[in-house]
C-alpha cells in the first residue's frame, strides 16, 4: 500500500515558540517527522538522543547547530547519546528519523 503525503497537509504540533513538528507514518520502531523552525527561533529544549542517535536532512532554509550552518541538501547524523539545540536565523524545514 502506498501513502502519499504533502508535509503542509499534516497537522503541525507546536513544540515551542516558532518550532513545529509534523509526524509521518512509518513501519516498526522508526519515528519520522518534518520540523519547521521559524526565522529567529530555537528548539525549546536540549534535544537528547538514545543509543541509535538521529538522522536529519535539511529540506529548505538553513539550520544552525553547534554554531555551524547547514543548508538545503545537507544530511546530519547525530550519534548515540548526542545532544543538540538547533536554531535558525532564516527559517528551516528538516526531515528526520530515529529509532524508538
Domain that holds residue 27: 11-39+82-92
Please tell me the pTM assigned to this model: 0.95
Q: Contact at 8 Å (CB) between 82 and 49? A: yes
- What's the CA gap between 29 and 82, in Å, rounded? 19
Can you tell me the distance from the alpha carbon of 4 to that of 25, in angstroms, rounded to the nearest whole number? 10
pLDDT tens for 54-95 read: 999 999 999 999 999 999 999 999 999 999 999 999 999 999
Task: Estimate to the nearest angstrom the gap between the alpha carbon of 36 and the chain centroid.
Answer: 7
Our count of domains for the chain comes to 1
- For residues 43 and 67, the answer to whether their CB atoms sit within 8 Å is no
Q: Do the domain assignments include residue 29? A: yes
In a domain, 23, yes or no: yes
Q: What is the pLDDT of residue 60?
A: 98
pLDDT for 100 beyond 90: no
The reply to whether 56 falls in a domain is no
Q: What is the mean pLDDT of residues 41-52?
A: 97
The DSSP string of 58-80 is: EEEE-EEETTEEE-TT-EEEE-T
Residue 58 maps to a domain: no
Amino acid at each position: 500500500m502506498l501513502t502519499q503525503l504533502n508535509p503542509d497537509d499534516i497537522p503541525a504540533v507546536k513544540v515551542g515558540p516558532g518550532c513545529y513538528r509534523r509526524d509521518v507514518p512509518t513501519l516498526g520502531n522508526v519515528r519520522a517527522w518534518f520540523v519547521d523552525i521559524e526565522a529567529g527561533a530555537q528548539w525549546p529544549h536540549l534535544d537528547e538522543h538514545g543509543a541509535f542517535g538521529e538522522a536529519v536532512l535539511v529540506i529548505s532554509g538553513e539550520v544552525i547547530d553547534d554554531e555551524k550552518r547547514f543548508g538545503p541538501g545537507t544530511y546530519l547524523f547525530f550519534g548515540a547519546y548526542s545532544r543538540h539545540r538547533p536554531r535558525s536565523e532564516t527559517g528551516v524545514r528538516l526531515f528526520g528519523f530515529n529509532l524508538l
